[in-house]
Amino acid sequence: MKYQFGAHARTIAIFQLLLSLLCFVFGVLTKVYGNDVPYLMDTVAPGIWCSVFAFAAAWKVLSTINKPTYTKLFWSNVTNWTASFFQFFVVAIQVYTLTHLLIVGKDLQTTFVTYAFISVGLVTSFILLLICVYNAKKFGRLCSNANSSDNPENYNDMTAISADTGATLVKISVLAIVLSIPAVYIAYGEPYEYTYLARVGAGIWCSVMSLVAGALCYKSVPTKNNAQITATFAFGIIASVFATCELGVEVGAAVQCLMYQGEYPEMQTTFQVHMIVSACAMYQLALSIFIAVTYGKMNEAMLAKIKQYMSNYKQKIGEYQLAA
């Protein structure tokens, strides 16, 4: 099937790639020149590690344009929405930091170089945010068109990638659990009594549902068992709800760590761990919704076949009775 990406899709993707590299550079420069400023939010260097997601999203878009498949369309949509989330976070931090420095910068003896790096980084991150949202919405529309039930070829293509989706969801869920266990253990020590959301451990117990949904998805693809299809559909919905809770709690925990990292520098590492788990939660949410939609359609098709079979069976019984 031919996908319509638009005349300037490749140019926009290359521009996104270059902006990601530029954001990474300004993130490094801001961290170097901002370490001497107390309570500077950019000491956690969000511009560095958040730009990695934008770079990966741009690379995925270029790969999709070169050799378009439904799988690549789906992952381009997911990676760009994830990159948008992190770029919004970067922009929010930079706006807060710049406002903070404009108010108390004279007392901190902030240099013009620091203002310049943060300002240029803010503009670059904002443009990158707009591009990521644009690409996410565009590839989301392409995925929606490919999911149309009026096109059996696209539906079969969508079903064919379910095994890969299930395996990916399992891997991401395991990663979230592995990262969350030490984070929760550390959160019960000093000085984490103020970061109560870090003690919830949402990355552990919420990821279990995504883990089950991914395992059922991976297992049900080759067998196409009706009971497994229904169970996967149900757990896809449940995992979506739990992933939403996980995302909210982990973002809240990261924000709490960020609020106190100026007073307790050791919280910077914990903050980054919670942001990584938040990224995992976003992927879990997207994949769980995809599984729920895919297996919902499979379950609907299965029920339609059963109804058709029962209708034919009743019709034949009626014919036999008339003949008798």
pLDDT at 179 exceeding the cut of 80: yes
pLDDT at 255 exceeding the cut of 50: yes
Determine whether 189 is exposed, middle or buried from the number of CB atoms within 10 Å of its CB (0-12, 13-18, 19+). Answer: exposed
Alpha-carbon gap, residue 11 to 2, rounded angstroms: 19
In three-state form (DSSP H/G/I as H, E/B as E, the rest C), the secondary structure along 213-228 is: HHHHHHHHHHHCCHHH
- Whether residue 258 contacts residue 41, with contact meaning beta carbons closer than 8 Å, is answered with yes
pLDDT at 38 exceeding the cut of 60: no
> Which residues are within 8 A (CB) of 58 and not within 5 positions of it... i.e. 6 or more apart?
13, 14, 16, 17, 20
Q: How confident is the model at residue 201 (pLDDT cuts 50, 70, 90)?
A: confident
Nearest 5°: CA angle at 255, between 132 and 175?
70
For the record, the structure tokens of 116 come out as 């310049």
Among 119, 113, 112, 127, residue whose Cα is nearest residue 98: 119
Q: How confident is the model at residue 241 (pLDDT cuts 50, 70, 90)?
A: very high
Q: Is residue 42 within a helix (H) or strand (E), and if so which, with residue range?
A: none
pLDDT computed for residue 197 by the predictor: 80
Residues 262-299: tens digit of each pLDDT: 677 677 778 878 888 888 898 899 888 888 887 887 77
Residues 49-60: tens digit of each pLDDT: 788 888 888 888
Mark 260-274 as b/e (b = at least 16 C-beta within 10 Å). Answer: bbeeeeebbebbbbb
Helices (H), the chain: 9-34, 46-66, 70-108, 112-146, 152-160, 162-187, 202-223, 226-260, 267-323
Query: Among 83-87, 158-162, 226-230, where is mean pLDDT lowest?
Result: 158-162
Residues 188-197: tens digit of each pLDDT: 776 666 677 8
Q: 86-100, 112-126, 231-245 — which one is most confidently predicted on average?
A: 231-245
Q: Percent of the chain, pLDDT > 70? A: 81
Q: What Å distances lie between residue 38 and 32, 97, 108, 264, CA to CA? A: 13, 11, 8, 11
Phi, psi for residue 225 in degrees, rounded to 5: -75, 135
DSSP code per residue over 145-202: HHT-TT-HHHHHHHHHTHHHHHHHHHHHHHHHHHHHHHHHHHHTSTTGGG-GGGGS-H
